[in-house]
């Protein structure tokens, strides 16, 4: 008698079922946005759709991954072509494949001069791990300096470099790292303001080295715009001072462009290049793959050469489909002139948000570069008391009006706006009108 095949009927899970399974089988570290979380099932360009077909303008892009736009037709076409041709899904770097080579060549044309070797990973965290290991290997030193309020990922060494307590596990092992003050102008750790600023935060990197290390370091890591920390946006001069200090003490400068890169900040593909940051390594992920899981650590040849004799293997890093998606993403960003668009739209949004800041007491600060924007909410401008509750309320109201935003900052009081770089003025005006309505309502109800 033939064995009857046991077929489980595959049915779409309801939202309640998904929530229930998440509760039972995902650790509590997997957090959700919104009191009534939404299930996203479809996406196109700058829009995402929930299970009921409701449309939302996606101003956070997963978490800052949607650079060229969801399901861009040119990427879809290439994926279909690769599938139709039975192209290999996985090779690893021990076999030759053209996609990784094309991507490496393209990326090193975009990096600042001298950064011409690139190693691929699946994520930003791994890219940063590799950056630490490479810098330590090159210098023979171990100490890494990071910034308070910085975020660099969720793996062990990287987590030890996070300057936000919320993202660090209780039993985080001691790593050879130390922290300098953040260039957080709105809440200057030195109590200064624009008029009397003497770049104390930049100079603090030297004090930190002199007071908490043996006087030599392996590396310094910083984001050129500190995304999760609340879109803290240092001025160019900060980097001029810090890079010199780092190099004087023998360290390598790691510029973490996982969030700020891929043209988001509006002039070059890498903000490090635009700001002329004298970096030795640049890490990237998120927008690089437009949602595909790919990260990379680009480094100067002199650092890469010192790795000779060592092996580094990342099973999926640089696999054909991911590499193709990253390369296509870069091509689309270039062909469709998305980088200047990100600057124009970002400047427009920020200028209008700054106008709103004059009207609403709860808007403490508006900052960012290009389409990486932060709006810090406070109880009132004078006290600058954090307003995390109001931030959640604004996010909820915006969601109900069809706008998805992100959140950041040590106290969760910074709205993050990071849509795809193709966003147009009409969409910018939509973001502004929904936000204004929310600011107005929250201001009235929180009095
Ligand atoms: C600046 C920065 N670096 C590193 C990471 C870690 O990247 P991933 O989550 O891909 O490991 C993130 C993630 O949010 C990030 O914002």
All structural domains of the chain, each given as residue ranges with its CATH number in brackets, are: 15-64+337-445 (3.90.1150.10), 78-335 (3.40.640.10)
Question: Are the C-beta atoms of residues 263 and 337 closer than 8 Å to each other?
Answer: no
86 CA to centre of ligand 1 in angstroms = 32
Per-residue pLDDT of the chain (447 residues; tens, 9 = 90+): 455 555 555 688 999 999 999 999 999 988 999 999 999 999 999 999 999 999 999 999 989 999 999 999 999 999 999 999 999 999 989 999 999 999 999 999 999 999 999 999 999 999 999 999 999 999 999 999 999 999 999 988 888 888 888 888 876 666 799 999 999 999 999 999 989 999 999 999 999 999 999 999 999 999 999 999 999 999 999 999 999 999 999 999 999 999 999 999 989 999 999 999 999 999 999 999 999 999 999 999 999 999 999 989 999 999 999 999 999 999 999 999 999 999 999 999 999 999 999 999 999 999 999 999 999 999 999 999 999 999 999 999 999 999 999 999 999 999 999 999 999 999 999 999 999 999 999 999 876
Atom 6 of ligand 1: nearest residue by CA position: 153
Query: Which residues share a beta bridge with 377?
Result: 363
Atom 3 of ligand 1: nearest residue by CA position: 152
Query: Which residues share a beta bridge with 373?
Result: 368, 417
Atom of ligand 1 nearest to the CA of 122: 10
CA 206 to each of CA 12, 152, 194, 215: distance values in angstroms, whole numbers, following the listed order: 56, 21, 21, 10
Strands (E), 19-72: 40-44, 47-50, 55-58
**How far does Cα 342 stand from its chain's mean position?**
16
Q: What residues flank ligand 1, with Cβ below 6 Å?
A: 63, 123-125, 128, 151-154, 223, 227-228, 256, 258-259, 285, 295
Test site for ligand 1: of 131, 152, 156, most ligand atoms within 8 A of the Cβ: 152
Question: Are the C-beta atoms of residues 224 and 260 closer than 8 Å to each other?
Answer: yes
Atom of ligand 1 nearest to the CA of 150: 1
Residue with tokens 């790292």: 177
Test site for ligand 1: of 30, 151, 284, 322, most ligand atoms within 8 A of the Cβ: 151
| Helices 425-445 and 388-400: angle between axes, nearest 10 degrees | 130
Parallel/antiparallel/unpaired status of strands 47-50 and 40-44: antiparallel
Query: Which pLDDT score is estimated for 174?
Result: 64
Question: Are the C-beta atoms of residues 264 and 371 closer than 8 Å to each other?
Answer: yes
Query: CA geometry: angle at 196 spanning 193 and 199, to 5°?
Result: 85
- CA dist 221 and 199 (Å) reads 18
105 CA to centre of ligand 1 in angstroms = 23
- CA dist 325 and 83 (Å) reads 13
Parallel/antiparallel/unpaired status of strands 219-222 and 177-180: unpaired
Test site for ligand 1: of 221, 285, 316, 408, most ligand atoms within 8 A of the Cβ: 285
126's CB contacts (< 8 A; 6+ apart) are: 153, 155, 295, 314, 317
116's CB contacts (< 8 A; 6+ apart) are: 108, 298, 300, 301
Q: Which of 151, 203, 157 is nearest to 180 (CA)?
A: 203
CA 65 to each of CA 40, 148, 325: distance values in angstroms, whole numbers, following the listed order: 15, 24, 12
Question: Are the C-beta atoms of residues 283 and 98 closer than 8 Å to each other?
Answer: no
396 CA to centre of ligand 1 in angstroms = 24
- CA dist 406 and 384 (Å) reads 21
Instruction: Give the burial class of 439: count Cβ atoms within 10 A of its Cβ; 0-12 exposed, 13-18 middle, 19 or more buried.
Output: buried
Query: Which residues share a beta bridge with 317?
Result: none
Q: Which of 163, 175, 167, 144 is nearest to 254 (CA)?
A: 144
Q: How many CA atoms lie within 13 A of 254 on its CB side?
A: 33
Which two structure tokens, joined as six digits, stand for 322? 């991911």
Where is 2: in which H helix or E strand? none
Q: How many CB atoms lie within 10 A of CB 106?
A: 17
Parallel/antiparallel/unpaired status of strands 219-222 and 252-256: parallel
């Amino acid at each position: 008698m033939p064995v009857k095949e046991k077929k489980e009927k595959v049915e779409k899970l309801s939202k309640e079922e998904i929530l229930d399974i998440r509760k039972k089988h995902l650790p509590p570290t997997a957090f959700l946005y919104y009191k009534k979380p939404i299930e996203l099932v479809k996406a196109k360009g700058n829009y995402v759709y929930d299970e009921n077909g409701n449309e939302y303008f996606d101003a956070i892009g997963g978490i800052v991954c949607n650079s060229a736009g969801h399901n861009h037709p040119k990427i879809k076409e290439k994926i279909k072509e690769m599938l139709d041709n039975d192209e290999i899904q996985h090779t690893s770097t021990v076999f030759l494949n053209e996609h990784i080579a094309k991507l490496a060549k393209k990326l090193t044309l975009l990096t600042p001069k001298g950064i011409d070797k690139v190693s691929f990973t699946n994520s930003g965290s791994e890219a940063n791990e590799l950056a630490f290991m490479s810098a330590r290997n090159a210098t023979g030193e171990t100490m890494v300096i990071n910034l308070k309020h910085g975020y660099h990922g969720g793996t062990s060494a990287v987590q030890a470099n996070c300057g936000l307590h919320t993202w660090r596990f209780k039993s985080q092992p001691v790593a050879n790292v130390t922290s300098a003050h953040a260039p957080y102008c709105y809440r200057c750790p030195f109590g200064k303001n624009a008029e009397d600023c003497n770049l104390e935060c930049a100079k603090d990197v030297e004090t930190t080295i002199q007071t908490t290390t043996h006087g030599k370091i392996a590396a310094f890591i910083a984001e050129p715009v500190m995304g999760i920390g609340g879109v803290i946006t240092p001025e160019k001069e900060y980097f001029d001072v810090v890079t010199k200090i780092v190099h004087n003490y023998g360290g390598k400068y790691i510029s973490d462009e996982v969030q700020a890169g891929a043209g988001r900040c509006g002039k070059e593909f890498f903000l490090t290049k635009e700001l002329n940051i004298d970096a030795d390594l640049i890490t990237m992920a998120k927008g690089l793959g437009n949602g595909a899981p790919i990260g990379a650590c680009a480094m100067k040849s002199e650092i890469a050469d010192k790795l000779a004799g060592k092996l580094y293997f990342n099973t999926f890093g640089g696999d054909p489909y991911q590499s193709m998606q990253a390369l296509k993403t870069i091509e689309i960003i270039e062909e469709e002139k998305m980088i200047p668009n990100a600057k124009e739209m970002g400047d427009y949004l920020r200028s209008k948000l700054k106008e709103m800041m004059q009207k609403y007491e709860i808007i403490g600060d508006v900052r960012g570069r290009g389409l990486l924007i932060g709006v810090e909410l406070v109880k009132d401008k004078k006290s600058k008391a954090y307003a995390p509750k109001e931030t959640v309320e604004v996010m909820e109201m915006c969601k109900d009006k069809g706008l998805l935003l992100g959140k950041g900052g040590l106290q969760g009081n910074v709205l993050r706006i990071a849509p795809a770089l193709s966003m147009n003025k009409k969409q910018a005006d939509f973001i502004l009108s929904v936000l204004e309505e929310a600011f107005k309502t929250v201001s009235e109800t929180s009095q």
